[in-house]
Structure 1
């Protein structure tokens, strides 16, 4: 209280605590996050999954999107380029993105000289919006040369089952069909081409059966092949049984023949012994003393 100030001051009661002393705390500087740069691989997962199992898989797919993509370095091997392109298309089935985003996502995974090639292609497109169809056509023209496509097409048209099983023949059929999808655009075309390459015994047994779809022809061919394998196995078992019994019968015949020969020799020796004992010849006359 200042000297000369007569204003009454409220006194602290006996049980009233003193006001704690508070130290001034300097405010920490606020750190501002840098502007977020969107990764082209961070695309929203398709939300059309309705079942609980599909909804449970969505977080896992979101984390594995980057792992599903592989980089393409422009290896001069059409089969490698085809495999990379198929892997990209398979990944698009799990993503919800536009056609332009698909092209950007694929171009993001190009490396080395392929990047230079894609920059030239973009300059040729100009201001045109680049969709996945345009990217795919340009990519196939560059990394699937015309002679290679023609060779695969001829191989597909002349494909036969041969010594393959039906499943092996179907796998090769589908692999080559990817190089000429226009030839089997309709299911009837696919059915006819597949049936022509089947083995002769399958086509003969399918002559009385007219499949309506490609899947029916495949199932019928598998059933015929399975039946033929069972018949061959049964014939093999019967042949083994026949080969196993023949040596036994032959051995029994030899043993029987030996026994007859031995019995004949024993009878001949017995008669000669009795003749010598009685002193008579084989004609019945007595020997001279």
Structure 2
């Protein structure tokens, strides 16, 4: 058995789908996607992929393929075969529409596996922008749920398959968390509230204790400051000599006596003045 025949036999063991030439873009696109994945799984050489998939064409599909290979040479790469096939069975306007769907694809409510299936299908129509592993990874992560894609971005994965596997693992983890929350009983909620209350009371007690220490220290400092102020005030009061307050009449008589003594030194005798004289 030749090497080519052996590859075809191994390929057929996986029961690949057949294409009969129906004018349905969805059917044609999925046939291409399925065969591409089988080629990658079996590590079929690039130059043999178009010829092997050609064996899986039936009906009008087989007629078309026979006619094409009689006129043209067999495509040497899968990319060439894919483009020839798309041009034959999928109108250009449909290809452009599906290309736009790929560029705007988001996971939304789909599971990761459903999202990956849709991603691979639409990617066939956007190979001009997703023509490398790096770009395929970029578009795949961009469309993932942010709870999944946000974690995968930091892993630095090098292949789309690795990214896909990690996305599945992350999805499984999130589903387990949601399941635990859904099956939580009222007793679990009560325990969570109790634990939170104990933790909060512990923090409040610590804060109260710390505040008490601070307040006591402030009170001690304030008492010492007040004592110092009181001592200083008392010392100042003791140093002040009280000055007796004289009544206005006493001051008048005292001043009058001083004037009388002054006049008495100039005249023969003192002149006595009464308060009522002017």
TM-score by length of 2: 0.48
Point out the structure with max Rg over C-alpha.
2
Structure with more of its chain in helix, by fraction:
2
TM-score by length of 1: 0.47
